[in-house]
Amino acid sequence: MEEILIGTDLQLAQNFLEKGDCVAIPTETVYGLAANALNPEAVAKIFEIKNRPAFDPLIVHIGSLDQVDALALHFPEIAQKLVRKFWPGPLTIILPKKNIVPDLVSSGLNTVGIRMPDHPITLALLRNLDFPLAAPSANPFGYISPTTARHVADQLAGKLPYILNGGPCHVGIESTIVSFINDIPQVLRLGGLSIEAIEAVIGKTTVSTQSTSNPAAPGMLSSHYAPRKPLVMGDIADLVKKHEQLDFEVLAFRDLQGHPGIALSKAGDLREAASNLFAALRTLDQSESDIIFAEPFPETGLGRAINDRLRRAAGRHTD
């Protein structure tokens, strides 16, 4: 597999997946690295290609609501209420799993993460297949998630036969993960669906996204989503004053304050900022500067998920 194919051929993608190969797929959040979720050998290829530790479980993607019952032992009313409102969309639910879900998908947990992505091409693919697709983000483990087909090709060329191109991801940040174990909703990962939107449907919800060495949601590892060069979070003017000898660039919300770098949304729109976040991190990571200074975003709506990703990107490099 020297040459990586990028295209929009649904039939070709389907053929590879039916053979047990991996295909990169577009979603509204980030690109996924997909394989037949019910075939452990196909799933093993995902771990191999991503260099992903086997303790990190995968999300299972479905194209219709009735597929939940095939995967989960129990679908609480409160979870049904939430998905009726937000699926297809950037919401993953964690439910007790049936045996049909391979241990490799759930990393030995007795639960499974399920999501219906909101992307026309991938929904069509899922509806043509007679199995669901396990898919983590299509990046090497620990690096920034891809939001274009080109990002996937840049990192995984030669490792998979096909990238289904669905254009840039419009949400741009991974799904929000809500666990419903014992029928109690608990947010495990902040993401593309805001807490405010969730709470408007099911009321006050606990957010427990702390990172630990044995995380319930290993996307919570503190150095996840990290660029290769150091990223420090803080007030830009203070950082510049403190580190004026460094060759830095700035990752800002609206305004660069005269410094080099990228502002994610000049209009001050958090959704626009989220959709630009990962592409901007990649650009800054690949530039000539030595360090990235990122400013904290407002702690509201998608600003919370953006701050979460920036803190994890800063993981190893606290100021």
CA dist., res. 80 & res. 199, Å (int): 14
**Does 217 interact with ligand TXA (rule: CB under 6 A)?**
yes
Contact string (CB under 6 A) for ligand TXA, positions 163-192, x = contact? -----------xx-x----------x----
170 binds, among Mg ion, ligand TXA, none (CB under 5 to 8 A by kind): none
**Does 27 interact with Mg ion (rule: CB under 5 A)?**
no
Complex with Mg ion: residue 122 or 137, whichever CB lies closer: 137
Residue 245: CB minimum distance to ligand TXA, A: 37
**Does 106 interact with ligand TXA (rule: CB under 6 A)?**
yes
Q: Tokens representing 303?
A: 């600003």
**Does 137 interact with Mg ion (rule: CB under 5 A)?**
yes
Residue 244: CB minimum distance to ligand TXA, A: 37
Q: Which of 13, 35, 38, 58 binds ligand TXA (CB under 6 A)?
A: 58
Residues 128-167 that bind ligand TXA (CB under 6 A): 135-137
Size of the chain, expressed as the number of residues it contains: 319
Complex with Mg ion: residue 97 or 189, whichever CB lies closer: 189
End-to-end CA distance of the chain: give it in Å, rounded. Answer: 43
115 binds, among Mg ion, ligand TXA, none (CB under 5 to 8 A by kind): ligand TXA
Coil, helix or strand for 176?
strand
CB contact set of 255 (below 8 Å; sequence gap of 6+): 263, 266
The interface region with ligand TXA, picked from 56-64, 124-132, 238-246, 273-281 by CB under 6 A, is: 56-64
Residue with tokens 């830095």: 248
Q: Which of 93, 94, 149, 273 binds ligand TXA (CB under 6 A)?
A: 94
CA dist., res. 248 & res. 214, Å (int): 34
Site residue total, Mg ion (CB under 5 A): 1
305 binds, among ligand TXA, Mg ion, none (CB under 5 to 8 A by kind): none
Q: What is the DSSP string of 93-150?
A: EEEEBPTTS-HHHHTT-SEEEEE----HHHHHHHHHSSS-EE--BSSSTTSPPP-SHH
Q: Tokens representing 77?
A: 């009313």
CB contact set of 262 (below 8 Å; sequence gap of 6+): 249, 250, 251, 252, 256, 276, 280, 283, 284
Going by C-alpha positions, the residue among 167, 180, 189, 183 that lies closest to residue 275 is 167
Interface residues with Mg ion (CB under 5 A) are 137
Interface residues with ligand TXA (CB under 6 A) are 27, 29-30, 32, 56-59, 90, 92, 94, 106, 109, 111-113, 115, 117, 135-137, 174-175, 177, 188, 216-219
